[in-house]
Chains A and B, each alone.
Chain A
Amino acid sequence: MLIDLIISAIKAIFVVLLVLNLSAVLLWFERKGSALIQDRIGANRAGLFGIGRRLGLPNLGIINTFIADPLKIFTKEDFVPDRADKFLYTLAPFLALFPVLISFAPIPFGDRLIVGSHQIELVVCPLTAGILYILAALGLGVYGAALGGWASNNRWALLGSVRASAQLISYELTMGLSIIAVVMVYGTLDLQEICRAQSGTWFGWLPKWGIVYQPLGFLLLLVAGIAESRRIPFDLPEGESELVAGYFTEYSGGKQAAFMLADFAEIVLVSALISTLFFGGWQVPYLQSDGFHLPGGTWLPLSNPVVALLGFVAFGIKVVFFCWLQILIRWTLPRFRYDQLMTLGWKGLLPLGLVNLMVTAVAIVAVGGSV
């Protein structure tokens, strides 16, 4: 009993640390990568006693992003605007960050790991309704942006809040519809079960990943996911050319860092969801629980810890790939106008999601209820 509690605690701490660290790496990639894309140099000022320069290494901005910026941001004055709602103003950054962090609980990051007599499922909280749990947590995430802007007593911030909440509840529908289609294909709400169902191959070489069943669903979830994380081209809530910085205009110091961290953690969440639902999660092509079964018929036996580790690495690679893709999109496309955003959501993506759902339902009935 105690050992189970310890294992659960280790898994939870592991996942939270992983997400927070990946968010920081994404922040670094966003700064240096955007510089690369725009043919700038990017962060290159801070160094440690000139060691890197003396060794002739290029300054990659690592000291800037991981040491100098956090030091700066956490030693800033923690400013509260005049006549702001102090309680809600303080609560809002937590309301933004907390739901995103807890929504990683039902996402599996590997298959079973067998240590001694213990079978450890590599997922923080194996829930039978894991997808519903993620959607509920995302629904709670609206309030961070909504209440933060309202409590700031600033018109730009309030406009940002109104835009954020309207955008989030509009695109949640598309997100839900694309996820429901996947759920119908696999007949379960348990993300670990969905991952397990994506093992094996067709014709001996094509991995049985969800994207083969649901290519349109994947695109819908990708677009809706970027809109959920409020990034360009959907960054109307914080559009800096119109609203200063939107709902977190008045925030500074650690509270602003919490909002920023929530944004980056949401990118990781969307990537993890996409990889789990459409790209097999921790599935490695041709890898079964006893080793590789290559298309030619060769069998390469592997022990359980190696298989679990390979699965975890595969999940990590998939997540990082989709994070990279989202940042690339963010630095490639211009921002939508607000009416375009709403038209795309309600007249473009929502009908497409409904059609996808209909086609999926008809196809499932046509093949007799099992895929």
Chain B
Amino acid sequence: MPLGIFAFFATLAVISALGVILQRSPVHSLLALIVTLLCVAALMIGLDALAVGLLQAIVYVGAIVVLFLFVIWLLNLERDPEESGRLGIKLLAAVGAAALVGELTAFLTRTHMSQQTVNSDYGSMAQLAGLIFGNYLIAFEVTSLLLLVAVVGVVAVARRWPSPRLANRPPTLSAKPQT
């Protein structure tokens, strides 16, 4: 990948990632997130992983972020509530962020960077499919099961169950509103 192209998309990815957390309006954050995801997809395509990059765009931009948009609409999040700045939460967030930075630094410094030539079918659909449905089949299926459990859990938590008092009342047939 030419250095200029890498620098462009990498810088844009970082700027838009900052945009995700620095903006007040959730929908604007969402738009910034889309830009970040597309930049990462572009970087993958630049590394000759065309199928992976396009799948990233399809799955994340085309489906998952749309679901985020639905969550924002359904919960009616217009702005960040101003209350979110309590000291305890801020401390907790700082500790979490520091832990993440430490982990990533350790990971990056310990990774052995080496240049090696990849096969000519690197990043192709056939190779990707071989990995997903061959070597890592069980991990892949277990992950999908995990996501299913999460979806069922969200529906169970978010659904407004009728209160038992109302549920036991016989259904009314009259058009008159009950008082």
Contact = CB atoms under 8 A, between A and B. Distances in A.
Nearest to B25: A85
A143 B34 contact: yes
| Most chain B CB neighbours (cut-off 10 Å) among A129, A146, A151 | A129
Interface of B: 25, 27-28, 31, 34, 38, 41, 50-51, 54-55, 57-58, 61-63, 66, 69-70, 73, 124-125
A142 interface: yes
Contact of A133 (B54, B66, B70, B73): B54
A158 interface: yes
B66 A142 contact: yes
19 contacts: A127-B50, A128-B50, A129-B51, A129-B54, A129-B125, A132-B58, A133-B54, A135-B58, A135-B62, A139-B58, A140-B61, A140-B62, A142-B62, A146-B66, A146-B69, A162-B70, A162-B73, A165-B69, A169-B66
B58 A85 contact: no
A114 interface: no
A189 interface: yes
Contact of A136 (B25, B54, B70): B54
A169 B60 CA distance: 12
A147 B62 contact: no
Binding site of A, secondary structure by majority: helix, strand, loop or mixed?
Answer: helix
A263 interface: no
Nearest to A161: B73
Interface residues of A, number: 27
A114 B59 CA distance: 39
A132 B54 contact: yes
Given A85-B27, A129-B51, A162-B73, 8 more contacts: A127-B50, A128-B50, A129-B50, A129-B125, A135-B58, A136-B57, A136-B62, A138-B62
B90 to A, nearest CB: 29
A158 B125 contact: no
B39 to A, nearest CB: 13
B55 A132 contact: yes
A25 B69 CA distance: 35
A147 B31 contact: yes
Interface of A: 85, 87-88, 91, 127-129, 132-133, 135-136, 138-140, 142-143, 146-147, 150-151, 158, 162, 165-166, 169, 172, 189
| Most chain A CB neighbours (cut-off 10 Å) among B25, B54, B55, B125 | B54
A143 B125 CA distance: 27
Contacts of B66: 142, 146, 165, 169
A142 B51 CA distance: 21
Nearest to A172: B62
Nearest to B74: A162
Nearest to A187: B126
Nearest to A158: B73
B51 A147 contact: no
B120 to A, nearest CB: 12
B63 A189 contact: no
Contact of B31 (A88, A162, A166, A172): A88
| Most chain A CB neighbours (cut-off 10 Å) among B28, B58, B63 | B58
Contact of A139 (B25, B57, B69, B70): B57
Given A88-B27, A162-B73, A165-B69, A139 B125 contact: no
Given A85-B27, A128-B124, A162-B73, A169 B61 contact: no
A136 B51 contact: no
Nearest to B55: A132
